[in-house]
Every structure is written in C-alpha cells, then in structure tokens.
Amino acid sequence: MAVVESVLKREFKTDLFAQFARIGGALASGRRLELLELLAQRERNVEDLARLTSRSAANTSQHLQVLRAARLVEGRKAGLRVTYRLADERVFSLWKSLRELGESRLAEVSQMVRTYLNGKDSLEAVTAASLRRKLERGDVIVLDVRPAEEYTAGHIAGARSIPLPQLRARLKGLPKRREIVAYCRGPYCILAYEAVALLRSYGLRAFRFEQGFPEWKAGGHPVQRIEAKR
C-alpha cells in the first residue's frame, strides 16, 4: 500500500509541475513577451499586433495561440477578427516580475538599458509616489503620449492625451511655467523619452514618469477610461 501511495504521489508531483511548465514554456519567447506588454495597454487584434511588432499576421497568430493554450491571453470574436486581451491582471504582474528579475540578475539587460535608454534622459525620472503627490496638489500636467486608442482604453487619472506625433503641433497649448510629466507604455518605451526631449528643446520643464500606464494601474493608483459612445 505504501508503495502504491508513493507512486501516486510521484505521479501527482510530475503532472502538477508539468502544468506549471506550460506557462514557463509560453513565456520562453521574446516575441510573446512583447505581445503581452502590448496587450497590457489594451485589447488588440492580430493585425494590429503584427503591425506593432513588425511581424506577419500568421506568425503573430501562432504566438498568440501558444499564449492562449497556456491561459495567459483570451480571445473574442469581433466580426471577422479575433481580439485578444490578457487573461487577467496577474498575467501582467507575472511579466513585470520576470522583467524585474531580469534587470537584477542579467548583466546584459542592465547594459542594454544603460546603453540605449539612459543616454536619452539626463535627469532622474519621476516615481509613482512623487507623481501621485504632484497630481493631488494639482501642480503638474501629465501627458499620455501613447496612441489615442490606448489612452481611451485606460490612462492615468487627470492625464491629457497628446500622442507623440502630434506633440510638436500642440506645444503652444502647454503652459511654460508648469511642470510636465510624460509617460507611455512602460520603462522600455521610448515615446516618453522622445516627448521629454522635444518639450525641453522648447524650454519647457519636462520629466519622464519612470514606469508606464500598466505599472501605474497595477500599483493601485487612480485611473480613468473613456466609455465608447453608443
């Protein structure tokens, strides 16, 4: 009897860890991790994701199917297209934890970030706690420089939507004596870096939020979304 119980216990452990490995296997692709980061902004269809990642629709669909099989994303039919979203907020938390572990344990990640991103922003970025205090005091203008559809799906409460391609044309509407904080999709998104550089070139007091909208939301800070008109 003891032998049978031992065998059953071993089978249970083997099968259990195999199930967990399904998630690890789905994450074992840089392309799929990029898809998760994009889906953290809003729901997207295959064509949209393919365009943003410079991949074919067929290749993108294959990666999405792997993520879907591991229950990391969900899909819903919208006309002739399938729209994908993260299965729940814990999927983003998993990606964020993986990213932070990579930053702390992989020297290559730190080197790439220092080489490519740090040189784009000579001043210290604004933390979430600091940005929230500034918003509560009303002494800061927060710019969401992501595409408008991402802002509509969800944004930092009180932020203005000025997508990066429109920023230069809308500079006159920004007060010169107010501090401006720009944010985009996350710490590796260059949209905010480019926005801050442009704003400073015109003499504005601009800074970058050190994270992005998904991190702000995951931290429990106030967010807003624009309801679709019926």
**Which residues, 6+ apart, have CB-to-CB distance to 181 below 8 Å?**
126, 131, 134, 140, 141, 142, 143, 206, 207, 208, 209
Give 73-132 as a 3 state SS string: EEEEEECCEEEEEECCHHHHHHHHHHHHHHHHHCHHHHHHHHHHCHHHCCCCCECHHHHH
Q: What is the Cα 107 distance to its own chain's centre?
A: 22
Encoded tokens for 29: 């692709």
The residue from 40, 67, 162, 184 that is catalytic is 184
Rounded Cα distance between 198 and 201, Å, is 5
184 among known catalytic residues: yes
Q: Which long-range contacts (CB under 8 A, 24 or more apart) does 43-49 make?
A: 43/83, 43/84, 43/85, 43/153, 44/83, 44/84, 45/78, 45/81, 45/82, 45/83, 45/84, 46/81, 46/82, 46/84, 47/81, 49/84
For tokens 């905010």, name the residue: 192
Show which residues are catalytic: 184
